[in-house]
Structure 1
Amino acid sequence: METRHDVLEARPYRLHNPIQPYAWGERGPRAFIPRLLGEDAPPDAPAAELWVGAHPSAPSRLDLDGRWIPLNQAIARWPRALLGSSVQRAFGDHLPFLFKILSAAEPLSIQAHPNKAQAQVLHARDPEHYPDAHHKPEIAIALESLQALAGFKPLGQWKETLRVHPQLQALVGDLDGTEPPLPEDEAIRRAFTRLLQTARQRPDLLSRTTDALAQRFSTRPNRDEFQDLYLFLYEKYGKTDVGLLVLFFLNQVELKAGQAIYLDAGLPHAYLKGNIAECMANSDNVVRLGLTTKFKDVDALLEILRFQPGAPPIFTPDPASPRTVYGVPCPDFEIHRLRLGKGCQEVLSRPGGPEVLFVVQGVGEIFWDALGKTGRLDYRRGQGFFVPAVLPAYRLRADAATDVFLVRVPLDHAA
């Protein structure tokens, strides 16, 4: 006999989303993620990331009439209804994106992510540390602000860094030693490879260098933010972490609320501090270099890095527009941000595919057509919803000023 849940209803579904307690997350009563959710902060644990998606290591749970089902299991049961045929053809029976709220009180590791071909190699070679065969391009959107490092500095700034901090010369080597001169990205590749390999082969030299820099910075009466960052990480991770020296050769990036950067495969980066919305391809492949107690893989990092200099461009939305599309050059996702004033309504439609809705601010209602009747759900700040492919349109009504993110698959890529 067919049961009620053999066929999935065409309606939005409320999600319960897990919090990841990574050590660098905010703690205590002012922690951002618990405040966003309207919950008390865990007494003894950080709240670093809120995951909204179907990644098997920490899936959201979908509310099916009071039964909470992991979203990845729901997709396995109803792939056509939840994902739609176009997304299935392009990505199989898998949701291709993962949305997060990330709250960093301390710097994250220096890291990069592989492209698809590299991910397949890493997963086959080391599935323990690279748990899937997918790429992981991502976008970071500042909710309040974000301080980060991203991309290599131009070669001229490398040379200036060595002039200001001559202690680094012994590890980096001569940047003017070839005739004819190398292309800039090749010169950076050689210098960076030499830095990492020398640090690994000469831990005594690495320790002397980091100690000398720490001693120099600690005696300065008016330290700048970079010097304070170095000393904090020196105390936290110790003098043999090569990430301390890599700090000197990456671009500093600062985002204001609403601004975004796209981090493509092979781009070295580290978030330093801030609260952001983040969206990425549905992967957990991270190749770490340093400034972490987690697994570090210098050889894999050198395989995947892109050495073209420059910081990623900063996208600044139009503050007068109620809707922003954060377009990205990958087929796995696109992210929209919608702001509604009190009493305003908006019909949201798409030709197919799933959508994740996450409420950053506001209260209101979601309406949809359900077999000739109007269905409704309340929404409030901090809640997430999954809209299946079988529901092509729904309506939001804001009972208070509302700010939501909408994540969907760009069907011109998935068709």
Structure 2
Amino acid sequence: MGEEVRLKEEVAVEESINTGVFLRPKWLQCSVQNYDWGRKGGVSTVAKMFRMNSKLGVEDVDVTGPYAEFWMGTHESGPSFLIGLERDGLPVTLKDWIGDNPNVVGSKVVQNWGCDLPFLFKILSISKALSIQAHPDKELAAILHAAHPGVYKDGNHKPEMAIAITQFNALCGFISLKELKDVFRSVPEIAELVGREDTDMILSIGENDEVDSDKMKSSLRSIFTRFMAAKNEIISELIFRMKNRLCSEDKLRILTDKERLALELEEQYPDDVGVISSFFFNYVKLNPGEALYLGPNEPHAYLSGECIECMATSDNVVRAGLTPKFRDVSTLCSMLTYKQGFPEILKGDRLNEYTLRYTPPFDEFEVDYCFLPSSESVNFQPVLGPSLFVVLNGDGDVQFGFSKQKDAIFEGDVFFVPENIGVTLFAGNTSELKVYRAGINERFF
């Protein structure tokens, strides 16, 4: 640890003494969301983490019910509470504690985001597709929240990143022009609804033609909007015909991944426009350790698998398919960027022998992943801004700052670390340790 870093930590400790606020990290009890697309409790990582974090017995988890999301942070829809701290007989939320002790997040964070965490940290366990959706930018989020606060519950934007724990599948962004032309040729049901004029226009673009990007986006917006706004009976008929055609062709040839996906989605959401509109999007398959990030106004739908997710502190979602929830088709179709091409996949930048950092192009967050073999240790140097740590697997010890004291850590533990406090992790003698850290993107500072 360099002299400058050591000095910062000593100053932070001195300030904590002077202000009466002990900057020792705080252990958290976190919230769970039981959305119907979640994995059943018997096989869900979310269920396991919730049980371990809340110190519940095995019998306290419904093995047949869905456990979808484990929330770590300050959002009011799923707050985290400080373990062992009460006020008037009630547990204290992390948000309230930060509000009382703003120095734990740092002055620059307070100036930009107030006395709050600008990021929300999650674990997702997905058994069936989430909705086709996008998250509004800040300007649109404020408008939607003011107009429909019951649906759009905050005025913040929601850029996000998913890091695969298991094989993780998603739809994300619009396919390239070349792939779109292939869809019009190979999926007659889509070409029929789009119409001959627009279909011929797309197919007529040559491989070497210079394509006006604004004109292409306008055409894609027109095509996609017409598709998503089509009457239910028209979509139902097209899906029925597509399903029959693919089931027949499956006996004669190997279906493509996209075709098989459409059939899977039809089983999950019969007669839903999202079944057939899935052909417009990139089909992304992440291996464990790979990450996908999503900016505002980009269409996507998580399909299956488990992941670590981090996002700006918001729960704003504009939906238009693959969901029984409220759909806002006109807003979704008007807000999208209509950018085409396969999304960037992050594999993490190595910080040391045991740690990878995932850095999306958003100020609010970055995520570190630490895989520590048994009996090994690793140091997280002090950083500006607060951090949340979650122990996904294994057990061991943690040491904060220059303290000689070690605290035992176990699977399911979540703890908040104030800015400028270093963290050293020690894996147990018989188990490897897997830990994720969410913090503010270093580029912000």
Question: Structure 1 residues 119 and 344 mapped into 2: Cα distance closer, same or farther (>3 Å)?
Answer: same
Aligned to 1:177, which of 201, 214, 230?
A: 201
State the number of aligned residues: 405
Equivalent residue of 1:177, what SS?
Answer: helix
**Structure-1 residue corresponding to 2:283:** 252
C-alpha contact (below 8 Å) 2:357/2:369 kept by paired residues: yes
Gaps of 5+ in 2: 1-16
Alignment partner, residue 392 of structure 1 = 421
How does 1:47-126 map onto structure 2 within 5 Å?
A: 47-64=67-84, 68-80=91-103, 82-126=104-148
Is 2:246 aligned against 1:217? Answer: yes
The one-letter code sitting in structure 2 at the alignment partner of 1:164 is: S
Evaluate the alpha carbon distance shift between residue 190 and residue 393 of structure 1 in structure 2; reply closer, same or farther with a 3 A threshold.
same
Contact 1:185–1:307 (CA under 8 A) maintained in structure 2: no
Tell me how far apart the structure 2 counterparts of residues 7 and 176 of structure 1 sit (CA, whole Å): 72
Report if aligned partners of 1:113, 1:285 keep a CA contact under 8 Å in 2. Answer: yes
In 2 relative to 1, CA 288–368 (structure 1 residues): closer, same or farther, beyond 3 Å?
same
Q: Distance in 1 between matches of 2:215 and 2:298?
A: 15
1:102-148 Cα distance to aligned partner (Å, 9 max, x none): 11111111111112222122222222211111111111111121011
Equivalent residues in 2 for 1:123-162, closer than 5 Å? 123-162=145-184
Contact persistence 2:229–2:329 (CA under 8 A): no
2:384 maps to: 352
Paired position in structure 1 for 2:355: 323
The SS at the match of 1:144 is coil
Counterpart-to-counterpart distance in 2, 1:75 and 1:302: 38
Task: Please point out which of 383, 387, 390 is paired with 2:413.
Answer: 383
Of 263-272 and 335-344, more deviation after overlay is shown by 335-344
Q: Shift of residue 223 of structure 1?
A: 5.0
> Which of 353, 362, 365 pairs up with 1:333?
365
TM-score, length basis structure 2: 0.84
User: Aligned residues: percent identity?
Assistant: 34
Letter in 1 for 2:409: Y
| C-alpha distance in 1 between matches for 2:111 and 2:442 | 11
| Deviation sequence 1:46-77 (CA, Å, 0-9, x none) | 11111111111111111145774221222222
Query: Distance between the aligned counterparts of 1:408 and 1:266, measured in 2?
Result: 23
Deviations 1:252-289 (A, max 9, x none): 11111101111111211111111111111111011111
TM-score of the two chains, using structure 1 as the length reference: 0.89
Give 1:93 deviation, angstroms.
Answer: 1.3
Deviations 1:6-36 (A, max 9, x none): 9432111111111110111110422222334
CA RMSD of aligned residues (A): 2.6
| Aligned partners of 1:155 and 1:188 also within 8 Å | no
Which piece of structure 1 moves more, 338-347 or 397-406? 338-347
Deviation at 1:170, TM superposition (A): 2.8
What is the aligned partner in structure 2 of residue 29 from structure 1?
A: 42
SS of the residue corresponding to residue 166 of structure 2 reads: strand
What does the per-residue CA deviation read over 1:278-320, in whole Å, with 9 as the maximum and x for residues that have no partner?
A: 1111110111110001111111112321111112111224789
Residue identity in the other structure for 2:423 = Y
Contact 2:349 2:358 in 1 (8 A): no
Quick check: 2:220–2:338 contact (8 Å CA) kept in 1?
A: no
Greater alpha carbon shift after TM alignment, 12-21 vs 187-196: 187-196
Contact 2:347 2:358 in 1 (8 A): no
Contact 2:41 2:47 in 1 (8 A): no
1:138 alignment partner AA: E
Matched, 1:274 2:294: no
Kept in 2: contact 1:171–1:199 (CA 8 A):
no
Q: Which residue of 2 aligns with 1:208?
A: 237
Contact 2:401-2:421 at 8 Å conserved across structures: no
Partner SS, residue 51 of structure 1: strand
